[in-house]
């Protein structure tokens, strides 16, 4: 049948229309994708601008709120007074009762109530009621850390983080970088030490507006602010909707965290070592926590006031938002799904964890919703960007080229950049990179596994110390960056013992002590041997340390050569930090080198030296030191509240450790730091002793 021309035209038109539709669909899809990509770029570009605008708006709102709040408070006080007299019951006497302002909004509950409450104390009040005991908190006479007139509130500071983080859980992980660079900024505590005159008796309000302590220091009642909230988790909230929304920090979060630590199924051995004498923790309500201790303990102050508090809405639930059973929550905590996401940490402090990019950086941003910014000036640094390094040389190069704003450098770089530098255009000689040196309460040691037959005799350990030429090593290799030490008592502390001097370098004495301990020289091998239970032991071992680290390799090579002269073969062996941490926790090393950071003003010996840590594989008693006298004195020290009496007790323990030499106490660290000229208002030594510990007062002007 013959097809009509009209039918052909219709078909051609239909095909044309279909082709046009396909083309338009493809073009539209491509266009939409291009627009989406462009939109993503625009959103990313606007992100920082929005953040800056929010910072400006938040600052304005804070100032307005302060003025408004001050006016309202004044009017309320004028209207009703702080203390009023109630009519007594028949036959009674008049007693002042505290006006607690229960009719006020929850956010009005705070510091301004304390003076009135303290005027009408009554220990007979019901548990959890304000006014049983006097408030322990005092405003810091040094004032806020943040400057009142910083010209730039939008700065980003670039800092080093090394090595690669193993994890961010503060109760599982135990390393200085985590504490100094993350926990200090992201977490918050019930109270905080006065930042220029730190002491276990000087506390200012933080998460709590009031803390009452019984006269015997056994009962603490913590009254939490009602305007403290948890930060938004750095995860995709569409996948974990139970984490979305605004979560208030409450006393129940604190009780939950204490319970996790105390549960022996949790890997919280270090934190648990301080809570042996904790009797109970009870949340009376959302904003009141009662902590009871079995005995009067000095450490109860710090362990209560600076208690780590983690969010129950994160760690108490599985990924689907179902609450973990009480019987298994501690086990789940050890390898929690949130920690496996490597999403950092959810805190309640002034900075929020934003992102961790493995091998690249850890990033935090100022959290504008932090309650503290209502009371004090905002911290000028808006972003804390920490670049991750595994090799110290990499970090030091970044510092020298201005890719970091603050960093540390070793002795060899100090020689190159400062002592031997002749180029007038170098950043140090130009005055662009400023150099700072200061002693710190950080010490380094060589640990000997005291339970191993090779190191169980203190005469052997003493000999190993006498054969370590620390003075020459500190001078020639470390250029004064290490100072030989006598005992783990920080020299600048009042508790330090001035009569203890570092062991001198004395090879003859080292030989004599080894002979006395029964280690005889084998003339065929040139090494010392001893028979123990029918087995011949040879003084031949490896000394492990985190590395690579050129200076420590040089120092231990120096030590190795001297030891060989007295019949001991020691092979220094560097290990990557992550592996070193694991092996150390597993007690695989019988000889190793590491360091400890102290708070510098008060000493406690339970975590490192008490024998109860031997049975806990995650404790800090890596060398399995066991001395009943140190155990007894360490426990007794924790019960001494008088600072003057503590001095004698600390020194007595220091003398025992000096005699026992469970470690070869190597040296105290002197920090060599560099910071660029655009970093302003540098508080080099907050807490008197910690150079650059806190960047809160700094501001940036590049």
Where are the chain's structural domains? 155-401, 437-671
How far apart are the C-alpha atoms of 203 and 304, rounded to whole Å? 11
**pLDDT at residue 8 in the model:** 52
**Taking the CB of residue 157, how many other CB atoms lie within 10 A of it?**
21
| pLDDT, tens only, 500-525 | 999 999 999 999 999 999 999 999 99
SS3 of residue 403 by DSSP: coil
Q: What is the mean pLDDT of residues 250-263?
A: 98
The single-letter DSSP state of residue 99 is -
Tokens of 90: 């028949």
The single-letter DSSP state of residue 341 is T
Instruction: Tell whether domain 155-401 is in CATH 3.90.1200.10.
Output: no
**pLDDT at residue 122 in the model:** 96
- The CA angle 574-577-581, to the nearest 5 degrees, is 105
pLDDT at 185 exceeding the cut of 90: yes
pLDDT at 32 exceeding the cut of 90: no
488-504 as b/e, with b when 16 or more CB fall inside 10 Å?
bbbbebebbbeebebbe
Angle between the N-to-C axes of helices 458-466 and 643-660, in degrees from 0 to 180, rounded to the nearest 10: 90
| pLDDT, tens only, 476-489 | 999 999 999 999 99
User: Residue 583: phi, psi to the nearest 5?
Assistant: -65, -35
How far apart are the C-alpha atoms of 663 and 542, rounded to whole Å? 16
CATH classification for the domain delimited by 437-671, as one of 1.10.10.10, 3.10.105.10, 3.40.50.1980, 3.90.1150.10: 3.10.105.10
How far apart are the C-alpha atoms of 164 and 177, rounded to whole Å? 10
User: In the predicted model, what is the mean pLDDT of the chain?
Assistant: 85
Among 371, 283, 368, residue whose Cα is nearest residue 107: 371
**pLDDT at residue 79 in the model:** 37
| pLDDT, tens only, 196-205 | 777 888 999 9
**pLDDT at residue 692 in the model:** 61
How far apart are the C-alpha atoms of 702 and 700, rounded to whole Å? 6
**pLDDT at residue 85 in the model:** 30
| pLDDT, tens only, 608-636 | 999 999 987 778 999 999 999 999 999 99
Q: What is the mean pLDDT of residues 378-386?
A: 96
148: region left, alpha or beta (phi > 0 left; psi from -120 to 50 alpha): alpha
Look at the pTM and tell me if it is higher than 0.85.
Answer: no
| pLDDT, tens only, 633-681 | 999 999 999 989 999 999 999 999 999 999 999 999 998 889 999 999 9
The single-letter DSSP state of residue 331 is H
- The CA angle 175-178-184, to the nearest 5 degrees, is 125
Q: What is the mean pLDDT of residues 402-424?
A: 93
**pLDDT at residue 555 in the model:** 97
Q: State the DSSP string of 670-684.
A: EEEEEEETTEES--S
Terminal CA-CA length for the chain: 86
Q: State the DSSP string of 102-127.
A: TTS-GGG-SGGGHHHHHTT--TTSPT
**pLDDT at residue 16 in the model:** 53
Which range (225-229, 284-288, 541-545, 613-617) has the least confidence?
A: 613-617
pLDDT at 245 exceeding the cut of 70: yes
**pLDDT at residue 602 in the model:** 86
**pLDDT at residue 616 in the model:** 79
């Amino acid at each position: 049948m013959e097809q009509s021309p009209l039918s052909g035209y219709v078909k051609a038109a239909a095909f044309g229309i279909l082709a046009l539709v396909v083309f338009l669909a493809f073009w539209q899809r491509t266009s939409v994708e291009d627009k989406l990509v462009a939109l993503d770029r625009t959103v990313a570009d606007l992100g920082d601008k929005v953040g800056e605008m929010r910072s400006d708006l938040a600052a304005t709102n804070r100032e307005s709120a302060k003025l408004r709040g001050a006016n309202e408070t004044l009017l309320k006080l004028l209207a009703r007074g702080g203390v009023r007299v109630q009519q007594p019951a028949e036959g009674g006497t008049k007693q002042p009762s505290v006006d607690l302002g229960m009719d006020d909004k929850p956010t009005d509950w705070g510091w301004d109530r304390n003076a009135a409450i303290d005027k009408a104390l009554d220990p007979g009040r019901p548990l959890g009621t304000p006014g049983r005991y006097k408030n322990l908190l005092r405003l810091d006479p040094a004032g806020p850390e943040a400057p009142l007139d910083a010209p730039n509130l939008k700065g980003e500071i670039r800092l080093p983080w090394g090595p690669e983080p193993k994890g961010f859980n503060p109760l599982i992980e135990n390393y200085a970088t985590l504490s100094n660079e993350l926990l200090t900024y992201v977490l918050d505590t019930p109270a905080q030490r006065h930042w220029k005159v730190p002491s276990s008796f000087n506390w200012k309000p933080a998460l709590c507006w009031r803390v009452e302590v019984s006269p015997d220091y056994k009962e603490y009642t913590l009254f939490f602010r009602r305007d403290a909230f948890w930060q938004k988790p750095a995860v995709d909230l569409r996948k974990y909707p139970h984490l979305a929304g605004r979560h208030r920090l409450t006393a129940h979060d604190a009780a939950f965290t204490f319970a996790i630590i105390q549960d022996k199924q949790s890997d919280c051995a270090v934190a648990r070592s301080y809570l042996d004498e904790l009797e109970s923790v009870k949340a009376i309500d959302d904003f009141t926590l009662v902590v009871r201790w079995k005995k009067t303990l000095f450490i109860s102050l710090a362990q209560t006031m600076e208690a780590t508090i983690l969010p129950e809405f994160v760690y108490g639930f599985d990924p689907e938002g179902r609450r973990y059973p009480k019987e298994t929550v501690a086990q789940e905590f050890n390898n929690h799904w949130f920690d496996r996401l490597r999403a950092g940490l959810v805190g309640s402090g002034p900075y929020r964890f934003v992102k961790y990019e493995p091998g690249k950086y850890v990033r935090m941003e100022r959290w504008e919703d932090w309650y503290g910014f209502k009371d004090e000036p905002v911290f000028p640094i808006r972003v804390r960007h920490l670049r991750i390094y595994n090799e110290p040389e990499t970090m030091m190069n970044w510092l020298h080229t201005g890719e970091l704003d603050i960093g540390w450098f070793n002795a060899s770089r100090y020689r190159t950049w400062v002592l031997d530098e002749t180029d007038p255009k170098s950043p140090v000689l130009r005055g662009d990179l400023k150099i700072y040196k200061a002693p710190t309460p950080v010490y380094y040691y060589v640990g000997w596994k005291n339970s191993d037959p090779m190191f169980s005799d203190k005469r052997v350990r003493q000999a190993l110390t006498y054969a370590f030429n620390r003075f020459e090593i500190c001078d020639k290799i470390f250029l004064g960056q290490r100072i030989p030490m006598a005992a783990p008592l920080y020299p600048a502390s009042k508790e330090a013992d001035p009569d203890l001097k570092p062991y001198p370098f004395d090879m003859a004495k080292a030989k004599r002590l080894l002979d006395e301990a029964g280690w005889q020289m084998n003339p065929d091998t040139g090494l010392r041997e001893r028979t123990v239970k029918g087995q011949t032991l040879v003084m031949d071992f490896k000394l492990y340390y985190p590395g690579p680290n050129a200076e420590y390799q040089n120092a231990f090579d120096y030590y190795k050569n001297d030891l060989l002269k007295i019949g001991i073969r020691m092979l220094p062996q560097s290990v990557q930090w992550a592996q070193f941490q694991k092996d150390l926790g597993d007690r695989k090393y019988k000889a190793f080198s590491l360091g400890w950071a102290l708070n510098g003003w008060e000493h406690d010996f339970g975590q490192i030296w008490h024998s109860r840590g031997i049975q806990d594989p995650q404790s800090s008693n890596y060398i399995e030191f066991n001395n009943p006298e140190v155990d007894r004195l360490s426990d007794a020290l924790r019960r001494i509240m008088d600072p003057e009496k503590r001095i004698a007790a600390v020194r007595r323990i220091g003398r025992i450790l000096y005699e026992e030499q469970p470690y070869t106490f190597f040296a105290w660290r002197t920090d060599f730091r560099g910071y660029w000229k655009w970093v302003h208002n540098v508080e080099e030594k907050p807490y008197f002793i910690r150079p650059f510990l806190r960047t809160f007062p700094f501001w940036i002007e590049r």
